[in-house]
Amino acid sequence: MSTPTGFMEYKRELPADRDPLERIKDWEEFHKHLSEDQLRTQGARCMDCGTPYCHTGMELNGSVLGCPVHNLIPEWNNLIYRGLWREALDRLHKTNNFPEFTGSVCPAPCEGSCTVGLIGEPVTIKTIEKAIIDRGFEEGWVVPDPPKKRTGKRVAIVGSGPAGLACAAQLNKAGHTVTVYERADRIGGLLTYGIPTMKLDKKVVQRRVDLLAAEGVQFVTNTEIGKDIPAQQLLDEFDAVVLCGGATKARDVDIEGRELGGIYMAMDYLNSTIKSYLDSGLADGNYISAKDKTSSSSAAAIPEPTASQRRCATAANRSRNSARMPRRRLRATRSRTRGRSSRTSIRSIMPRKRPKRCSGKIRGRSPC
């Protein structure tokens, strides 16, 4: 625990974003960073939960609650509050092979499980996590750490995405000789070709790949198992084979208009764009672009809605509007009687019909 009342004294604070007019000039990450004092303040918001659900990593009704890798979040939050960055990095690496990846692109189920979030805003766990690993690289604390002794066992890993790299890191740390096969021209899988650069800088991915290579992991690119190398060859040459390939078959949708032009699968777009950016800075033009593809001719090709579609849309709008209108209003009135305490009664006030006008005066009053 950092400070018992930190979550009540300090507000949640997130890093600011770069100005949009500045961001459109490049493809770099657009999140700025918090200062060290701000990070320590955010660490102070971590409370004494008793049961910290942020690192439980349990599954409930098909959803994951807390950190899936069981990061020791309360511990390194407290260490950051106390200014012990090196110790916080050690605790972070205890459960996480690549905090620079999770700190950038993880959806942060830990924050959704934060106990402080029950009564306010959760602790900025993801921001602190990324700050710890960034500080570790800046200070030179993250260095190659090859195993002291090899076991003599050889392991082949097929696929160099997050699963393949994590598997390689763990097996190499255990002393096995690891070879990673990747059919693309760069290591990283989705980390390289599936996540935009503005969310995860590819220099960050390459930095970790270089670190693993320095620790003894061997990488083989442009090699597809079953095509360039028979699968049986891996079974014959290695003591174990681990399949860490991703799902490359897209999930299509059978809906009206799917056959129209200009509709691409996400991975087709991301692969071509990121590869062109890394190869030539988009100078080669080998990527999917919407430039000069929005014209009056293409707009005219969009069919007008039919009469039945208009009627359905009108009925849907009426239904939504009626659902938003209150069916009755409640008003609390306070009545006071002599000798009795006041009490509050609730009555329903329905719209009243306008009374008919009558001729003449009623008991000296104006006409109704």
Is residue 368 one of the residues assigned to a domain? Answer: no
Co-location of 168 and 121 in the same domain: no
Co-location of 95 and 182 in the same domain: no
Structure tokens at 197: 């650069």
Co-location of 181 and 118 in the same domain: no
Co-location of 126 and 149 in the same domain: no
Co-location of 4 and 136 in the same domain: yes
Answer with the residue of higher pLDDT: 278 or 295.
278
Co-location of 79 and 126 in the same domain: yes
pLDDT at site 315: 55
Mean pLDDT of 161-180: 97
pLDDT at site 317: 53
Report the run of H or E that residue 88 belongs to, with start and end: helix 85-93
Residue 172 above 50 pLDDT?
Answer: yes
Q: What DSSP line would sit under 292-357, residue for residue?
A: T---HHHHHTSPPPPHHHHHHHHHHHHHHHHHHS-S-EEEEEEEEETTEEEEEEEEEEPPPPPPPP
Which residue type does 316 have?
A
Is residue 328 one of the residues assigned to a domain? Answer: no
- Residue ranges making up the domain that contains 207: 145-248+263-287
Q: What DSSP line would sit under 172-231, residue for residue?
A: HHTT-EEEEE-SSSSTTTHHHHTS-TTTS-HHHHHHHHHHHHHTT-EEE-S--BTTTB-H
Co-location of 39 and 75 in the same domain: yes
Listed range (74-83, 168-177, 288-297) with the worst mean pLDDT: 288-297
Co-location of 102 and 149 in the same domain: no
Is residue 317 one of the residues assigned to a domain? Answer: no
Task: Look up the CATH number of the domain holding residue 83.
Answer: 1.10.1060.10
Are 186 and 193 in contact, with CB atoms under 8 Å apart?
A: yes
Mean pLDDT of 110-125: 92
Distance CA 318, CA 324 (A): 10
Q: What is the pLDDT of residues 215-253, one digit of tens each?
A: 999 999 999 999 999 999 999 999 999 999 988 888 888
Residue 320 above 80 pLDDT?
Answer: no
Co-location of 134 and 154 in the same domain: no
Is residue 356 one of the residues assigned to a domain? Answer: no
Task: Look up the CATH number of the domain holding residue 235.
Answer: 3.50.50.60
The rounded percent of the chain whose pLDDT value lies above 70 is: 79
Q: Which of 50-54, 80-84, 327-331 has the highest mean pLDDT?
A: 80-84
CA 170, 64, 3, 130 torsion: positive or negative?
Answer: positive
3-state secondary structure at position 129: helix
pLDDT at site 5: 85
Say how many domains are in the chain.
2
Structure tokens at 176: 């096995």
